[in-house]
C-alpha cells in the first residue's frame, strides 16, 4: 500500500503528509482517524462510481488545503477533521447536480466553504463540548443544492426528491429477506451516498481494519435502522436501498466510540437511540419535502448531539465525550 496511506503524522506540506491528512479525513466520515480505512472508503466509492470517487478526493483535498492555507489548528488537520466535510460535499453536489464545468467550480467553492463552517462550529461547539460531526457538510451541501434553483448555470439531477407537501404513505410494499440483505450493506454504503452492496462490503472492511467495535456497531446499526423502519411500515424501497440504515450506522459508531466501559444501561441507551433515529429520519424527510431536499446526515447529527448532551445529565450513563 502506498506510503501516504500511513497514519504517520508527517509534514503537512509534503505530498505524503498532505495525502495522509486527506485519507484520514475520508476515514473520519465514519469517525475513523485511520488512513487505511479512508483508502478502502475511496476504493468503495470508486467501485460504484469513479466520478464520485474523484469528487470525494477533490472535495477532501480542497477542504484540507483551505484549512492549511488559512492556518487552522494543525492537530485537527492531521486528524483529518478538515477532510470529511469537503469529501462528502464533493459527492453530494455531483449526486444532486448535473455534472458540467461550472459544477466543478461550484464543488470547489462549497468544499472551501465547508472548512469555514467547520472552523466556525468548532469554536461554537467547544463551549458546550459537543463534536461538530458532519454538520458543516450538511449546511454547505443544502445551501449549494438549494441555491442552484435560482442559478440557471446549475441544474438538478433526478436524484433530488421532488418538491411537494408531505403525504401519508399508504402502500409501503413487501419487505423480503432480499430487502433486508441488501438493506444492511446499502445502509453502510449510503454513508457515502452509494447504493451498492460491494461498496458497502468494502466500507465494512475498512471499518474492521480501523476498529472492531466500530465495525460491529455499523453492522448492528444498519440492521437496527432497517428493522425499526420495517416494523413501523416504512416504504420497502427506502428500506432496501439503505436509506433507513446509514444514519443509524453513524449514530451507533458515534455513541459506541464515546464509551469507556460498556454496561447494560449504556447498551439500552444506544438501543433507544437506534429506535428514535429512523423516526427522526422520517420526520426530517417530510420536513424537507416542500423544498425537495435530501436529509443527508442530519438525523445522525441531531440524535447524536441529543444523546451526548443528555448523557451528561444521567448519572447512569455519563458518556465520555471526545473533541471532534
Q: How far is the CB of 245 from its own copies (least distance, A)?
A: 15
Q: How far is the CB of 7 from its own copies (least distance, A)?
A: 24
By beta-carbon proximity to its own copies, the closer residue of 129 and 212 is 129
Q: How far is the CB of 214 from its own copies (least distance, A)?
A: 23
By beta-carbon proximity to its own copies, the closer residue of 144 and 185 is 144
By beta-carbon proximity to its own copies, the closer residue of 57 and 81 is 81
Q: How far apart are CA 21 and CA 26, in angstroms?
A: 9
Cα 148 to the chain's mean position, in Å?
Answer: 22
By beta-carbon proximity to its own copies, the closer residue of 212 and 318 is 318
Q: Among candidates 149, 245, 257, which has minimal Cα distance to 192?
A: 245
Q: How far is the CB of 255 from its own copies (least distance, A)?
A: 12
* Cβ atoms of 114 and 165 closer than 8 Å: no
Q: How far apart are CA 85 and CA 192, in angstroms?
A: 11
* Cβ atoms of 88 and 137 closer than 8 Å: yes
In the beta sheet, which residues pair with residue 97?
156
DSSP state of 156: B
Q: How far is the CB of 290 from its own copies (least distance, A)?
A: 4
DSSP string covering 62-125, please? HHHHHHHHHT--HHHHHTTTTTHHHHHHHHHHHHHB---HHHHHHHHHHHHHHHHHHHHHHHHH
By beta-carbon proximity to its own copies, the closer residue of 127 and 178 is 127
By beta-carbon proximity to its own copies, the closer residue of 113 and 259 is 113
Q: How far apart are CA 85 and CA 135, in angstroms?
A: 8
Cα–Cα separations (whole angstroms), residue 310 to 25, 128, 134, 248: 28, 12, 20, 18
Q: How far is the CB of 11 from its own copies (least distance, A)?
A: 17
Q: How far is the CB of 120 from its own copies (least distance, A)?
A: 4
Q: Among candidates 151, 154, 116, which has minimal Cα distance to 137?
A: 116
Q: How far apart are CA 122 and CA 29, in angstroms?
A: 16
By beta-carbon proximity to its own copies, the closer residue of 137 and 144 is 144
Q: How far is the CB of 265 from its own copies (least distance, A)?
A: 7
Residue 176, burial from CB neighbour count under 10 angstroms (0-12, 13-18, 19+): exposed
By beta-carbon proximity to its own copies, the closer residue of 139 and 188 is 139
Amino acid at each position: 500500500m502506498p506510503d501516504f496511506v500511513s497514519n504517520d503524522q508527517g509534514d503537512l506540506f509534503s505530498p505524503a503528509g498532505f495525502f495522509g491528512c486527506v485519507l484520514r479525513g475520508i476515514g473520519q466520515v465514519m469517525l475513523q482517524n485511520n488512513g487505511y480505512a479512508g483508502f478502502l472508503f475511496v476504493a468503495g466509492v470508486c467501485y460504484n462510481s469513479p466520478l464520485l470517487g474523484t469528487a470525494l478526493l477533490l472535495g477532501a483535498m480542497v477542504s484540507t488545503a483551505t484549512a492549511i492555507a488559512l492556518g487552522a489548528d494543525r492537530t485537527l488537520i492531521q486528524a483529518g477533521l478538515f477532510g470529511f466535510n469537503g469529501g462528502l460535499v464533493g459527492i453530494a453536489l455531483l449526486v444532486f447536480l448535473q455534472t458540467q464545468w461550472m459544477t466543478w467550480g461550484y464543488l470547489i467553492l462549497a468544499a472551501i466553504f465547508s472548512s469555514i463552517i467547520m472552523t466556525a462550529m468548532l469554536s461554537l461547539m467547544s463551549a458546550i463540548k459537543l463534536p461538530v460531526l458532519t454538520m458543516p457538510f450538511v449546511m454547505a451541501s443544502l445551501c449549494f443544492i438549494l441555491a442552484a434553483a435560482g442559478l440557471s448555470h446549475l441544474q438538478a439531477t433526478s436524484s433530488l426528491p421532488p418538491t411537494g407537501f408531505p403525504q401519508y404513505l399508504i402502500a409501503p410494499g413487501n419487505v423480503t429477506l432480499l430487502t433486508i440483505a441488501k438493506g444492511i450493506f446499502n445502509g453502510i454504503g449510503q454513508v457515502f451516498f452509494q447504493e451498492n452492496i460491494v461498496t458497502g462490503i468494502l466500507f465494512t472492511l475498512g471499518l474492521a481494519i480501523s476498529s472492531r467495535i466500530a465495525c460491529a456497531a455499523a453492522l448492528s446499526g444498519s440492521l437496527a435502522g432497517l428493522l425499526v423502519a420495517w416494523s413501523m411500515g416504512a416504504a420497502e424501497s427506502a428500506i432496501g436501498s439503505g436509506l433507513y440504515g446509514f444514519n443509524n450506522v453513524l449514530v451507533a459508531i458515534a455513541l459506541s466510540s464515546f464509551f469507556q466501559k460498556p454496561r447494560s444501561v449504556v447498551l439500552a441507551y444506544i438501543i433507544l437511540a437506534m429506535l428514535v433515529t429512523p423516526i427522526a429520519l422520517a420526520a426530517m424527510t417530510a420536513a424537507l419535502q416542500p423544498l425537495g431536499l435530501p436529509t443527508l446526515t442530519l438525523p445522525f447529527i441531531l440524535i447524536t448531539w441529543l444523546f451526548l448532551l443528555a448523557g451528561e445529565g444521567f448519572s447512569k450513563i455519563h458518556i465520555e465525550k471526545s473533541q471532534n
